[in-house]
Structure 1
């Protein structure tokens, strides 16, 4: 009787162990599948935003200049990457507010209400309104100073973003504010030639890279100044 009970207990433990392994495998597969789906949607968002920029260039920029929303942002003397992207929402070139949000971030712009209609909304347009860092008013100058060795003085210059900006340079990426996009495992990166890549932590720090000297994203700007952008802001004050 004791032998039979022992065998029954052993069998129960084996079955429980097998079920636990199967459940863990299923949960892992579902988690990976959800993240892949979110990455695909994030990539599609950035592709769509890139097409919006191409439309602006063609219809509003004379095939020469990208948006320059000076006076439309929260600060009259400059604009952030989020505000640069939002220009196309304000102009109704890109009317879908959800494209400005990474599906893995938890950010919200409340169906576009926080984006505003023709300028950033004081008190509402913040770090959760757009999930992506992008070009700011000093991006061209910072790129010239940090990547092309044209002299540190360029880092504070406000130069127009033109169609001849190198196509192999980054136009936008996941931001480094609030909750990290994609669980902090990597970030989506959009280039001026409109292709999107996914960079893992092995290449870039998804929580500390935007606007930071020595990184490939030094010229991009979050909604809140960071890195070289905060240094420039301090110089202005």
Structure 2
């Protein structure tokens, strides 16, 4: 008997992804390669369906750009049993909807706050003002968090701003540094080494271990950067230090 090929509108997880072993307590569900909003939408849709199903033994799901890590208790269930159940989950259409929540990040560009801005302008053939306009004029999506607590990978950059990481990473990158690399932008939440190109700085805090949740952003959130002058940057920094500053969200969201 010849197997019937799946229908074009067959949106079962097992048809759109593959399962990859990650040791004896986890496996990954991989939806494709690269940074793509449709793939990421499938990742988050799968995570939501798995949470709703409340499958026995599943302890956590961790989304990334293009895959979902599923962690489970091997004393309760098995990878084979979970994958058999998940195989038939209907993801529906991969709709890339507008973010429900859009954060507005006040950013001081250039100078000591963004020491790589002029080099980025030179490398892209743009003026510093044009680099700022393109970076701040884009609505970014939080694809995944990692590297450091509170560090969100935001995409995608306008094509004209896509540049490789620095050949020699910095030993210390100041907290709040707004940076770009390849197709992504992000904000260093704490001082750390880093090889991304620094174009600005924000006084906001992105991780607080005592808060619930501890990170400002969540996967799927939208992010815009708002250029500010040095005086406003300093005023916001003071308000953040006092605990009186409330991060902005886009009007209408």
Say whether the fold is shared (TM-score over 0.5). no
- TM-score under structure 2 length normalisation: 0.25
Q: Which has the higher strand share?
A: 2
